[in-house]
Structure 1
Amino acid sequence: MATDIISTEPATGATLWRGSASDVEVEVELARGAWAEWAARPLAVRVEMLRRFVNVVRGRAEDLADTISRETGKPLWEAKAEIESVIAKVDISISAYNERTAQRRIDGAVGTRTALRHKPHGVLAVLGPYNFPMHLANGHIVPALLAGNAIVFKPSEKTPLSGIKLVECYHAAGIPGALVRIVIGGPAEGKALAASEGIDGLLFTGSANTGLILNRQFADKPNKILALEMGGNNPIIVWDAPDAYTAAVLVAQSAFLSAGQRCTAARRLIVKDGAHEPLIAELRKLLARLIVAEPHSSPAPFMGPVIDNEAADGLQESFLALLMKGGRPVVQMERPIENRPFLSPSIIDVTDVRDRPDIELFGPMLQMIRVSDFDAALAEANNTRFGLSASLIGGSPELYDRFWANSRAGIVNWNKPTNGASSSAPFGGIGLSGNHRPSAYYAADYCAYPVVSTEEENPRASIGIGLRQD
């Protein structure tokens, strides 16, 4: 009997959508039957289809943003920005395809040509997250379709309706229904999709624990592409910042946008011991002003709830556990509405906490660490198995050069937040943050593989050495 999947609005607890889990192998077989014809179509046709997809998304933008907002709890203004990213992805992917995977001629011997072309893998599975349920999945799907692949997409079980509506946009644009399939379900369906013999690769955005499981699962399948984006335990260093208020704004944006539910969110604030009080004073005042409310509220909130009560409970337990190990509350975490997953932005000083857990606490919770000098700040920034994003606020150009050279991260910023990465650049990290398959602009690299051909119209051959004389 099929299992019901229920989507609940985090802000209200109301049921938004209910449906049955999919048959994974049926969806994979449909995609496998459609991909060869799609791959054989001229690139210009695939481009045109994706431009039609953009027009469909534009026409449905209000409804799509409303769905994201209700299903994730993020403010409506942020959901609208996500739809803009979905739209922009097509032009970015076309540019990336032309730059990174276009056909090329390579100089060869006289009378011989060497050609570089790229082929699609076949059927690619996409496992999407709940924090950006359309944008991050779309970031895999668009370049994969452009390269000639078929797609089987499983959205997070926490945001199935957003995934359904995204796929409906592809179909409404004239992209064959069998080419882009959706799998509705929970962990069991995700495992079945990853294990399916009918897929030629898997593109994943989500937690490090799930990514590690997938990495082990694909270890004996070198014939299948695996791209992992697994989040971060990201540091933000504030050092000799000339303006404490501006530094506080950058810290708050880094740590608390999307209720801290961004893989690039700052998790650890590293400051100079004894010189951090002005920054903390400004942060306290600023966080007291941030509006935490339902996504459609007026005035517009800065952030909404986290995804569900289970996530909120876990974050509160983590805050309490750090307090019991010696942490000191700088800004207390509050749960303003009982049985709803709203959390206030919080900061905890964990300088004196031994054996701090190196995990991604996915929510509005920032750990502060005081250090004596910049060498210690660099060491603390790198004191993690992750390596996605890092930022320095303040300091001189020379100090930033040291920070950039010594930071173990795929995104290294100066006087900018840790989050808000551009889709026109590669996006990815090292360590537990990824497997050296950066997405965004570099997604073209894992959506097709290079084929090198040495070609000559007429066969000619001779052996000039190593033969016995007649």
Structure 2
Amino acid sequence: MTQLISTNPATGDTVWDGPEATAAEVAAAVGRARAAFPDWGDRPRQDRIDAVKRYQAALKARAPEIALAISRETGKAPWETTAELGAMQGKVDISIRAYDERTGERTADTAFGRATLRHRPHGVAAVLGPFNFPGHLPNGHIVPALLAGDTVVFKPSEEAPLTGQLMADCLAEADLPEGVFNLVQGGRDTGAALLDQPIDALMFTGSGAAGAHFRRKFADDPHVILALELGGNNPLVVWDAADAEAVAGIIVQSAFITTGQRCSCARRLILPQGAQGDAILEAVMALVARLTFAPHDSDPEPYAGPLISARAAGQALDALQRRVDAGARVLLPASRIDGLSDAFVSPGIIDATGIEIEDEEIFAPFLTVTRVADFDAAIQAGNATRYGLSAGLVSDDPANWDRFIRRIRAGVVNFNRPTTGAAGDMPFGGLGASGNHRPSAYYAADYCAYPVASFEADAVKSIEGEIRGLR
């Protein structure tokens, strides 16, 4: 039996270890979920609300423990993981409201009878969790799915199995019926075994390449609902903004928060040619120099921690070097940080103006600058990607925003705020290689249940008068 080991990327210390689920164990988990589905889906909705409320209470009671576990597994600073636990608790109330607004049941009287709209759960939902928000992001699928009446098989990221186990413990404390929620731990083979089972929905947050693979795999299974949130090569445009220091704060928080490991991080900074763009870059460099990258338990608390692993750091540095080899000019060199583990990397900034580079997301604190001559060219450069998750505009001119919001292609578009900002009671997701038009967050209710439209009458009555052409 293969053993799964989770380590602290800042220290290399083991955080969790346990066996990976075998294909037979995965099949058994799906079987339990299938057996539990009819009863769970048929229960009064209040029963399901009460269950997720009990889960919410367990999360609240264990929030410090789970936040510390996420910091240890991912290296994220305590200020971030504490916020993540708050978002997980808040997701319960948001999901209840979303179900009522987005799905639920509605009835209207018509000339042909009572028209009723109901929503029914799909069945067994497979949830594959990411490492960057190992609690919040899968939680955003699991809670709406349970509310809708789906049963769940959850495979956490192999980089954060302890977080997944603690979530499962909280759901166990919620006293769900047997088989409604099932945890399987493991890596790629475990995930593949899960997707080979007769599931009804796949809910996934991760890379564009993985999302493309899932679309191909389920091309002949249209009944399997795919909810895919796949990251992005996100643009941040700065135009007609006079306060360079204020602009720098928005840029830094867009590009380098969570060590660049947010799917909504700005990867491309589009600036005007000339003195205004130069001043902004100078302010960004000055602010980046003040950022602290250190282990989560450092004193004082750091801005951010390491990447998820030394391997991820090496891959990111290699990807950045390929862009430099293609002709990009280094403005701020990225490197591993002296005295810290090989998972730590410093922020890097390159200028790729006029250079053809690969249209791929680097999940690290790296930023690519492009300088353009006019605002139309800035929008065009922003849309020059196969992705479409997030985008942002920083400008003193509201007229620029009016043009930008109409022309930029992305699912989350912010004005004078970081690209990483997103409200839990709004949809979150993108288009193109960033997803399949099933935004999560508030709109998760949409893909957790399907609509059923009915005409209804309380008694059997003749409709012969509706039949034309009778003799």
TM range (shorter): over 0.9
Tell me if the contact between 1:255 and 1:364 (Cα under 8 Å) persists in the aligned partners.
yes
User: Structure 1 residue 124: deviation in Å?
Assistant: 0.4
1:107 Cα deviation after fit:
3.0
Amino acid of the residue matched to residue 38 of structure 1?
Answer: W
Secondary structure (helix, strand or coil) at the match of 1:25 reads helix
- What is the deviation of 1:123? 0.7
Pair 1:69-2:71 in alignment: yes
- Deviation digits for residues 168-203 of structure 1, max 9, x if unmatched? 101111123421101111111111211212x11111
> For residue 12 of structure 2, what is the aligned residue in structure 1?
13
* Local SS of the residue matching 2:125: strand
Length-normalised TM-score, structure 1? 0.97
* Higher mean displacement: 296-305 or 186-195: 186-195
Decide whether the 8 Å contact of 1:133 with 1:156 is kept in 2: yes
CA distance, structure 1, for counterparts of residue 73 and residue 132 of structure 2: 10
Secondary structure of 1:289 counterpart: coil
The CA distance in 1 between the partners of 2:246 and 2:17, in whole Å, is 44
Secondary structure of the 1:241 match is coil
1:363 aligns with 2:364: yes
What code does the residue aligned with 1:33 have? A
Match in the other structure for 1:305: 306
Report the counterpart of residue 148 of structure 2 in structure 1: 147
Residues 1:35 and 2:34 aligned together: no
| AA aligned opposite 1:251 | I
Report which stretch shifted further, 316-325 or 154-163.
Answer: 316-325
Deviations 1:101-150 (A, max 9, x none): 1210023116x211111100111000110000000000000000001110
Report if the CA contact (8 A) 1:171-1:177 is conserved. no
Runs of 4+ in 1 over 6 A off after TM superposition: none
CA distance in 2, matches of 1:365, 1:96: 35
Secondary structure of 2:464's counterpart equals coil
CA apart distance, 1:306: 0.4
Checking the alignment, whether the CA contact within 8 Å between 1:12 and 1:340 is kept in structure 2 is no
Cα separation, 1, equivalents of 2:300 and 2:252: 19
Report deviation, 1:465.
Answer: 2.6
Matches within 5 A, 1:58-207: 58-109=60-111, 112-197=113-198, 199-207=199-207
**Counterparts of 1:319 and 1:177 in 2: how far apart (Å)?**
48
CA RMSD between the two structures: 1.1
User: Distance between the aligned counterparts of 1:173 and 1:277, measured in 2?
Assistant: 55
Q: Report the TM-score when normalising by structure 2.
A: 0.97
- CA distance, structure 1, for counterparts of residue 393 and residue 433 of structure 2: 21
2:343 aligned residue:
341
Distance 1:102 1:46 in 2: 13
**Quick one: distance in 2 between partners of 1:242 and 1:196?**
56
- Secondary structure of 2:304's counterpart equals coil
Q: What residue ranges of structure 2 are gaps of 5+ in the alignment?
A: none
Matched with 1:221 is: 221
Matched residues, percent identical?
Answer: 49
**Residues 282-297 of structure 1 correspond to what in structure 2 (within 5 A)?**
282-297=283-298
Shift of 1:467: 2.6
Cα separation, 1, equivalents of 2:421 and 2:218: 31
| Separation of aligned partners in 2, 1:393 and 1:334 | 29
DSSP-derived class of the 1:16 partner: strand
Q: Is the 8 A contact 1:230 1:432 kept in 2?
A: yes
Does the Cα contact within 8 Å between 2:389 and 2:434 map onto a contact in 1? yes
Q: CA deviation at 1:48?
A: 1.1
Deviation, structure 1 residue 339: 4.9
Deviations 1:384-418 (A, max 9, x none): 00000000011411111111111010111110110
2-structure distance, mates of 1:177, 1:166: 16
Q: What residue identity is the alignment partner of 1:345?
A: P
Residues 326, 352 of structure 1: 8 Å contact kept: no
Structure 1 residue runs of 5 or longer lacking an equivalent are: none
Give the structure 2 partner of residue 467 of structure 1. 470
SS in 1 for 2:226: strand
Aligned residues: 464
Structure 1 position 352, deviation (Å): 3.6
Match of 2:254 in 1: 254
Offset from partner CA, 1:287-335 (integer Å, 9 cap, x none): 1110000011111111100000111001111222222221111111021
**AA aligned opposite 1:412:** V
Change (3 A) 1:178 1:78: same
Distance, in Å, in 2 between the alignment partners of 1:67 and 1:131 is 13
Distance 2:355 2:27 in 1: 48
| Aligned-partner Cα distance in 2 for 1:84–1:28 | 30
Q: What one-letter code is carried by the residue in structure 2 that aligns with 1:452?
A: A
Amino acid at match of 1:186: G
Query: Residue 86 of structure 1 aligns to which amino acid in structure 2?
Result: M
Partner of 1:107, secondary structure, is strand
Is the Cα–Cα contact under 8 Å of residues 10 and 341 in structure 2 kept in the other structure? no
Contact 2:208 2:433 in 1 (8 A): yes
- The aligned counterpart of 2:329 is 328
Letter of the aligned partner of 2:308 in structure 1?
I
